[in-house]
Amino acid sequence: MAQSAGRLGWLLVWGVVFCDIGSSVFYVPGVLYGADGEAAGFFVLATMVGFMLLAAKEVEVARRYPAGGGVVSLAGQAFGPWWGSLGGQLILVDFFLTVAISALAGVHYLDLVLPLGEGLLPLTLLALVALTLINIVGVKESARVSLVLAITAVVVELLVVVVALAQVPPTFWAEIPEELAALLRMSPWQGLVGYAGAWLAFSGLESFSQLAPAMKDLDLTPRRAMVAVVASVLVTAPSLTFLAIASLPLEIKAAESSRFVAALASVWGGVGLQVVVVLLAMAMLFLAANTAILGSYHVQLALTRQRFLPEALGALSHRYQTPHRAILLATVVPAVILIAVGADLRALGGLYAFGLLGAFMLSSAGIDLLRWREGRRDWVFFVGVFTTLLVMVAFGVNLVAKPEATTFGGALAGLGMLASWLTRSGTTDALLNRLPYTRRPEAAELSEAGFYTLERAAARAGDVPGVMVASRGATRKIFKEAVDRAKARGCTHLFVLYVDEVPGLFYPQLASPTPEGQTVLDAGAAIVQNLGLEPIPVWTLSHSAAEAVATAAVTCRCDTVVIGATQRTFLWNALRGRFIRDALKHLPAEVRLIVVG
């Protein structure tokens, strides 16, 4: 598979992942306080041990599966394909709830500066509609934006911690031994329930392995990035949770259950610091919701490619080339959940653990099994087994202690597994093939043209600079212009390029063109052949079509690239960039860009 590799170094990977995990601190303290009272901060600190051990395994997952896939690929290899499907269903439950919680928490913070009253739920649903439209068009998300937010978050959160520690009264320190003693007086079951619930503070770790295809390398980059993630979470999450719960007055904790960090900033730092926290929280929470939508539809696409979900779910929009149906599912389910719980943030937090811990457990156990098969019996293997036991205990306790989460998560995952069985049996596709808008494209099924990767296409480049045509459709006028230019310089072939442009930060596990891409390659190759030249269909995958076209032109030694006049809307240009402008920026000066209007 050809793709633009080497974009994200360890710092950018840290920024993306910390933006996801770090956003949890803006709502987790209030959720945990409602469940565990004053002991919540201690439980978060204790759970850090399991988090750090699991983080080390996530580095290995990224290295083992450079094409991404996370728990779907890992569980499938370790336990069999149906376990991979189960892992996918569990992580989907996790993503659905992440979207709902992050969007709702972001609106809660907005409510501090713009009182919404009864408009809390409607505005959250409106935010989901906006995220749906943005993702269908395809936002060109930048890791640098995440990095800026992540750095800002660490600085602001540490500032809140320092300001709070500098001003808390002496009674705060005097109460710590009493609270610790109360913690030790808890029953073992209460302690286990608190430990299991505290895993909510580390949601977002599952996104790490999904970034593997975009990492600069799989040696130093994942390790350094994860060390930075663990260090930044360690210095922010436990301290903010502990300080908010232990230092805020009871009446504030009762009134601001969803905004403990903002309340902490207000009480000890004043209105100015509170405003900064509110703006930061809103940005990170809505970004986390968007990242969860991206993760959700990429998992759906992975399941469709493995025939566990119907192909129609992964079909791309002809206008925007994004999986619009999968995106709709990624936002409609969270919207239904929000309505069902009445926009209750604590209720959502209670439902969250099933999918998160279930996916963590499969991932951790899968690594152990693969290590065992490889003959590993060293300390790393046994520490890994201990990590799995820690996660299994948390998952098992949640099954009993949170029956609502078990019922909800089990039902949702069960529906997903039923869909997998119906898809594998052919029942779902047989039904969908009768519907006009979900029928599988026949052109893709009958394709025999094949395609070249950039590496293979480069071997066909001749001594004379070639001509390349890049198009999202098979418009004869564009291809004829390219053929005429190629014939004029004596070329016997023409490079026909199609780029599957993937918005967001994650790469799908594509080893061949999408059905839409193959259709364009087939039709374009037929036109070129009819016009008297040999077509060389080339396919690549990229977050930026303009950058991919420039890379392909250089790789195939073409000094002329022919494209059609852009038909992109203002919204497309705003979210995904202006193709012609971006192409000119990336193309070398000696390469001519011909626009056929």
The CATH number covering residue 490 comes to 3.40.50.620
Over 80: is that where the pLDDT of 568 sits? no
Does residue 217 lie within any of the structural domains?
yes
Same domain (yes/no): 534, 485: yes
Does residue 16 lie within any of the structural domains?
yes
Same domain (yes/no): 407, 457: no
Same domain (yes/no): 271, 381: yes
Same domain (yes/no): 51, 115: yes
Q: Cα-flanking dihedrals φ and ψ of residue 402, to 5°?
A: -125, 75
Does residue 1 lie within any of the structural domains?
no
Distance (Å, whole) CA 438 – CA 454: 32
Range of the domain at 532: 445-596
Quick one: pLDDT band at residue 183, thresholds 50, 70, 90? confident
Per-residue pLDDT at 569: 57
Per-residue pLDDT at 302: 84
Per-residue pLDDT at 4: 39
Per-residue pLDDT at 67: 78
Does residue 438 lie within any of the structural domains?
no
Supply 77's token pair.
Answer: 């290899």
What pTM value is reported for the model? 0.81
Distances (CA, A) of 1 to 142, 145, 541: 22, 27, 8
Does residue 4 lie within any of the structural domains?
no
At 218-244, the pLDDT tens digits run: 889 999 999 999 999 999 988 888 888
CB 36 within 8 A of CB 197: yes
Does residue 388 lie within any of the structural domains?
yes
Same domain (yes/no): 486, 573: yes
Same domain (yes/no): 389, 473: no
Considering only 321-325, 396-400, 438-442, which range has the smallest mean pLDDT? 438-442
Same domain (yes/no): 371, 450: no
At 319-346, the pLDDT tens digits run: 777 788 999 999 999 999 999 999 888 8
Instruction: Find the mean pLDDT for residues 391-410.
Output: 91
Three-state SS annotation for 41-102: HHHHHHHHHHHHHHHHHHHHHHHHCCCCCHHHHHHHHHHCHHHHHHHHHHHHHHHHHHHHHH
Does residue 433 lie within any of the structural domains?
no
Considering only 26-35, 131-140, 404-413, 570-579, which range has the smallest mean pLDDT? 570-579
Over 80: is that where the pLDDT of 6 sits? no
Q: Cα-flanking dihedrals φ and ψ of residue 215, to 5°?
A: -75, 150
At 108-118, the pLDDT tens digits run: 999 888 888 88
- Per DSSP, 8 falls in state B
Same domain (yes/no): 15, 109: yes
Q: Which residue, of 357, 391, 424, is where some domain finishes?
A: 424
CB 406 within 8 A of CB 351: no
Mean confidence (pLDDT) of the chain: 85
Number of domains, the chain = 2
Same domain (yes/no): 171, 252: yes
Q: Which residue, of 424, 457, 477, is where some domain finishes?
A: 424
The CATH number covering residue 376 comes to 1.20.1740.10
Same domain (yes/no): 60, 196: yes
Same domain (yes/no): 391, 453: no
Q: Which residue, of 424, 455, 483, is where some domain finishes?
A: 424
Considering only 152-166, 290-304, 564-578, which range has the smallest mean pLDDT? 564-578
Same domain (yes/no): 416, 462: no
Does residue 486 lie within any of the structural domains?
yes
